[in-house]
Amino acid sequence: MDCCPHWTFLPYWGFDDTITDVHMSYGLRLNNFGTSHRTDTGAYMHPLIHFLQSKMRMTDVYQPVVIRELLSNGGSSSKSRLAASLVQYDASVQEYYQRILMRWPKATLTKHGIVSYDRATESFALTCFPDDDEVRQEATALCDLKIEQWITRKRGDPSVAGAASSVRYELLKEAKGCCRLCGIHSSVCPLDIDHIIPQSRANKAGKVYRDDRWIDVNDRSNLQVLCFRCNRAKRDGDTTDFSRRSKLVRDRIPEIISAQGRKAVFDQLHGSNLMDALRDKLVEEHAEFIAAETGSERLLELVDMYEVVAAIASKLGFEEDDFQSLVRKKRTERGSFSKGLFLRPQH
């Protein structure tokens, strides 16, 4: 997180996004203290202005958005509110929710004559906007109530995707905390619970046809773990179960499985297909290294990563000795990464 010397984390008592629960969360508060700075003309400058004009180094839009939100809310704000403010500036997230808006709320609300949509201006309007202030307040209160009821149901009803924390936990455990598609770990990118057969394909009873039977669209067997980016990139018509993908294994695995009295079907890959599988395997092993909890587990994952790297080098025409020779040559010329040197951006 980018830091400013005049910020501090303080306990913030507030309502969370479920409306019904009051909890202790960490908010961010913009402090009033700090040293004033003298300008070229001799005038004193507020430390916040000095930071914004002279000290702030940006790699993204996050810092000024957070400061602006804090300024708009009297100097403090909850974590959830600040996160919501960042979403306003994330084009990929906005595009995702615009697609949702146009697919379901627009279709349903226009069908019932509640809203109209102007394609020229790309804007929505209530077709029955209440002139009476009391009616508007009552309608707003009813919206709040419906939202609260839905969130309460989502928390307690296991038929709602993502509702039961135990279901989410089991899915994440099976996936080893990694995206089923790209292999990225949850510590690197947020993970979503995705419908394998999309909700848009469910019938009027909320059922989808999968594995030769009808199941609830939110059935556990129709859920998989995908990272935020992979889930947003997945097309509505894509019904791939990424947990069932074939994967590259070490050369002696068929022999080991056979010795255990089990049977498995293997294909032998060549050329570009093998190189693609090796790239996927490197991502998989990297994700498992990230997820490893002990030093010995991390070491074993590094061994697996090295084996994949050596195989890729071999396919590129470098045998292991040649590859190691290049490693030593580059280490002599440019050094290793053992000193922990971290290059700061140049301005």
The predicted-structure confidence for 59-85, as pLDDT tens digits, reads as follows: 777 888 888 888 888 888 888 888 888
Query: Could you give the CA distance from residue 139 to residue 137 in angstroms, rounded to a whole number?
Result: 5
Name the one residue in this structure whose structure tokens are 């010995």: 296
pLDDT for residue 17:
34
The predicted-structure confidence for 322-340, as pLDDT tens digits, reads as follows: 999 999 999 999 999 999 8
Query: Could you give the CA distance from residue 212 to residue 201 in angstroms, rounded to a whole number?
Result: 15
**What DSSP string runs through 283-306?**
HHHHHHHHH--SHHHHHHHHHHHH
CA distances from 333 to 324, 327, 329, 336 (A): 14, 10, 6, 9
Confidence of residue 31 (pLDDT cuts 50, 70, 90): low
Query: Could you give the CA distance from residue 55 to residue 46 in angstroms, rounded to a whole number?
Result: 13
Sign of CA dihedral 194, 200, 206, 210: negative
To the nearest 5 percent, what fractions of the chain are helix, strand and coil? 45, 15, 40
pLDDT for residue 177:
80
Query: Could you give the CA distance from residue 227 to residue 183 in angstroms, rounded to a whole number?
Result: 8
Per-residue pLDDT for 312 more than 60? yes
Query: Could you give the CA distance from residue 284 to residue 36 in angstroms, rounded to a whole number?
Result: 51
Per-residue pLDDT for 29 more than 60? no
List, in order, residues 6 or more apart from 9 with CB less than 8 Å away.
26, 27, 28, 29
The answer to pTM > 0.75 is no
The domains of the chain are located at 7-89, 92-156, 165-242, 253-334
Least trusted range by pLDDT, from 101-115, 236-250, 313-327 = 236-250
Confidence of residue 346 (pLDDT cuts 50, 70, 90): confident
pLDDT for residue 5:
39
pLDDT for residue 40:
61
Report DSSP state, residue 345.
Answer: P
pLDDT for residue 92:
66
Per-residue pLDDT for 48 more than 60? yes
The predicted-structure confidence for 235-277, as pLDDT tens digits, reads as follows: 666 777 666 567 788 999 888 888 888 887 888 999 988 998 8
CB-CB neighbours of 288 under 10 Å: 20
Query: Could you give the CA distance from residue 5 to residue 48 in angstroms, rounded to a whole number?
Result: 10
Average pLDDT over residues 116-145: 88
| Burial letters 330-339, b for 16+ CB under 10 A, else e | eeeeeeeeee
CA distances from 203 to 115, 206, 209, 214 (A): 25, 5, 9, 10
Name the one residue in this structure whose structure tokens are 């947990």: 243
